[in-house]
Amino acid sequence: MATLDIAPLAQWVGRSESRDDVVTLAPLRALASTLDYPDEPWPATREVPPFWHWLYFLPTHRQSELGPDGHAERGGFLPPVALPRRMWAGSRITFAAPLRPGQSMRRTSTIEAVRAKDGRTGSLVFVTVRHEVRAEGALSLVEHQDIVYRDAPKAGEPGPAPVAASSSPAWSRRIVPDPVLLFRYSALTFNGHRIHYDQPFTVRDEGYPEIIVHGPLIATLLLDLLHRSQPGARVSEFSFRAMRPLFSGTAFDVCGERRGSGKVQLWARSPEGHVAMQAEATLG
């Protein structure tokens, strides 16, 4: 790590911020339509499904505060990591109580760790953020989010080592991630990251062949598969890890099956048959 001094970045550990929001109906109805559910009113008594909390506490940075990739400039709440590429690598979430429309919420976010390492493609920095969401003062969920920062792409850079995905899951659903789906999800989460809608930028600056499917969208589709396949199942814990990118215009499968008492394994299978995202849900 000769070219990356981690000490100044480590000073961000312990930094905290809080934001307030209200569980409103419009984003819930919009995401339900985006996930292709029938167009029906969302009852005020209906619980918010797990992961749909990402529709709230949206990043509202001013246009002049955005960096070249569409994210906010470095050095605010998150540390100013001097690596050009970033991605949401995974999360671990514990659900304490469901959110409901009309509730007032507060999210308190804390930088828990900043770590650096050498990867096969260069320098990496991992930032772990703990988000605690309370509704009407009562704990609703705790999420540990892992963000990874990477070097710029290099010519001939190898992709991640593939892991073969099971071809005979108990449940599966084919997803066709066209640009409209990615646009709608970016709009719903106010995600300005250009890799999800700007094809020339994604190819030229990030080195990918096509715009990329959001990691949180894939995770949401995995949990959505669980709820379609096991109606009434209540998720108490969920974790996911992104392993390979998925691209617009190329169909992929979300898959799942029960494994052991109260455990569900879920995964996204790429067109080549590789695991693109691995996840586990605990029921109860």
Question: Which structural domain range is residue 264 located in?
Answer: 7-283
Quick check: is 258 in a domain? yes
In tens, the pLDDT along 170-203 reads 999 999 999 999 999 999 999 999 999 999 999 9
Quick check: is 2 in a domain? no
Quick check: is 53 in a domain? yes
In tens, the pLDDT along 120-170 reads 667 899 999 999 999 999 999 999 999 999 887 776 666 678 999 998 999
Taking the CA atoms of the chain, what radius of gyration do you get in angstroms? Answer: 19
Torsion from C-alpha of 277, 130, 147, 126, nearest 10 degrees: -110
Read off the pLDDT of each residue in 23-39 and give the average, rounded to a whole number: 92
pLDDT value at 3 more than 70: no
Do 264 and 257 form a contact (C-beta atoms < 8 A)? yes
How confident is the prediction for the chain on average, in pLDDT?
92
Quick check: is 167 in a domain? yes
Q: Which two tokens stand for residue 21?
A: 């929001």
Dihedral-angle region of residue 234 (phi above 0 means left; psi in -120 to 50 means alpha; beta otherwise): beta
Quick check: is 105 in a domain? yes
Q: What is the model's pLDDT at position 1?
A: 41
Quick check: is 178 in a domain? yes
Side chain identity at 266, as an amino acid letter?
A: L
Q: DSSP of 76-129, one letter per residue?
A: SSS-----SEEEEEEEEEEE-S---TT-EEEEEEEEEEEEEEEETTEEEEEEEE
Q: What is the model's pLDDT at position 245?
A: 94
Q: What's the structural domain count of the chain?
A: 1
Rounded-to-integer distance, Cα 145 and Cα 92, Å = 7
Per 3-state DSSP, the chain is made up of helix, strand and coil in percentages (nearest 5) of 20, 35, 45
Q: How confident is the model at residue 67 (pLDDT cuts 50, 70, 90)?
A: confident
Work out whether strand 235-242 and strand 275-283 pair parallel, antiparallel, or are unpaired: antiparallel
Measuring CA to CA, which residue among 209, 281, 280 is closest to residue 246? 209
Quick check: is 177 in a domain? yes
CATH number for the domain spanning 78: value is: 3.10.129.10
Quick check: is 1 in a domain? no
DSSP H or E stretch at residue 171 = strand 171-175
Rounded-to-integer distance, Cα 77 and Cα 59, Å = 12
Read off the pLDDT of each residue in 241-265 and give the average, rounded to a whole number: 95
